[in-house]
Amino acid sequence: MNLEENIISLLSDQLPRSKKQLNDLFESDAEILKKKNGYLLFSVDDFSKEDHFRTTNPFQLGKNLAVATLSDILASGGAPQYFSHSVALNPEKWDHSYLVELASGVAEILVETGAAFIGGDLGTSEEWHYTGIAIGYSDKPLMRKRTAPGELIYMTGNCGTGNFEAALQLFNIDSNISTQFELRHKEAGLIKEFATTCIDSSDGIGNALRTISSLNNTGFLIDRLNSDPIASAFMTQLKLPEELLFLGECGEYELVFTIKPEDEESFLAEAESRELYFTKIGTIQKEKRMLLSDSKLYDLGDFNIGGRDFSEPQEYISALTKYLKGHETNI
C-alpha cells in the first residue's frame, strides 16, 4: 500500500460499517448499499490545487469537477440521481462572473445525466477546495473484484488526458488546448451489461489496473498504450517518456473494464449499434503486470509510487522516469 491507501485503511478500521453494504474497502468506485429494490450508490471526492486542474477557464473546470465526481457512480454500474458539493474559495480570486461560469459548467453535466442538485455548503479559504458528492441507483452494480486470467481489458477514451492537464499546469504553459474530461454515462449503460469488473481512471490507467490486479490476485499485459495523441506529442516535446501518461496518477476519469472473451463479439456489435467506441488495451494475466510500449516491455510487478509520497511534483515525475528506465527490456 502507498501512503494514501494506508491512511484510508487506518481511518476505516476505526469506523462502523453497514451490514447493507455490498462492497468492502477498495472493492468498488462507489459505496454500494442494498435497498429493498436495487442498490443505492454513494460517492464523495475532494478536489483542490494538488489535483493540478487548470483554473483559468471556470466553465471547463466546472464540467471537469462534475464529470470527475460522477465517474465513480458510472464505474459502479449506476445512474446518477442526486448531486451535492461543498466549495471553499477565496472571493477575491473567484468573483461573481467566475462562480457563475463554474456553476454553469457543473450544471451542463448534471442536465446531461439527469441528476439533480440538492444543495451543499460554502466556506472560505486562501486556496480553492471542491468536494463533490454523488448519489445514484443501480439494479446491477459493478465492482472491481470479479475478473479472471484471460479476460479482456477495454477502456473508454484515451490514456493521459489528466496527466497532460497536470503537466500544462505544472510547467506553467499557457495553452488554449482543451483537456475536457468526457462524460461516459452512455458508455456506462452498455458496460454494465457485459463487464465483469470496472473502475474509473481517476488515479490514472496504471493505478486502476494495479488496483484490479491486487483485488483479484492477477496480473495484466497492456499491449496498447492508447495515449491521447496531443498529450503524446507534448511528452515528446518535453523529452519525457510517453509511458508517464499511463503511470502518472492525475487521471482522465475514463472507464477501464474487463469482459469475457466469449462476450467480446456481442459487446462490440452492441457498441456499434449504439455508436459507442471502446479500445481493447490488453488482457488479464495470472501474475505478471506488464506494459508493452514502443518495442519495450516494462515489468510493473513492484510498482508502488504515489504522488503524495513526494513533497514536490517534479520529484514524483523523476521517480516515475527512473522506475521506467530500471524496469524496461528491449524486445
Tens digit of each residue's pLDDT (9 = 90 or more) over 279-326:
999 999 999 999 999 999 999 999 999 888 898 889 999 999 999 999
Assessment of whether the complete model's pTM goes beyond 0.85 = yes
Assigned C-alpha cell, 231: 498529450
In the chain, which segments carry CATH 3.90.650.10? 152-330
Host H or E run for residue 187: helix 185-194
For the chain, the residue count is 331
Q: Which residues pair with 285 in a beta bridge?
A: 219
In this prediction, residue 187 carries a pLDDT of: 98
pLDDT of residue 174: 66
List where CATH 3.30.1330.10 sits in the chain. Answer: 15-138
Rounded distance between C-alpha atoms, residue 145 and residue 214, angstroms: 9
Residue 328 reports pLDDT greater than 90: yes
152-330 is classed CATH 3.90.650.10? yes
Distances in Å between the alpha carbon of 273 and those of 123, 154, 267?
47, 18, 10
Mean local confidence (pLDDT), 120-126: 96
**pLDDT range class, residue 201, cuts 50, 70, 90:** very high
Distance in angstroms (rounded) separating the CA atoms of residues 184 and 123:
31
- What mean pLDDT comes out for the span 174-202? 93
pLDDT of amino acid 183: 98
Q: Are 73 and 198 in contact (CB under 8 A)?
A: no
C-alpha cell at 279: 479500445
CATH code: domain 15-138 is 3.30.1330.10
CA-CA distance, 113 to 26, in Å (whole number)? Answer: 25
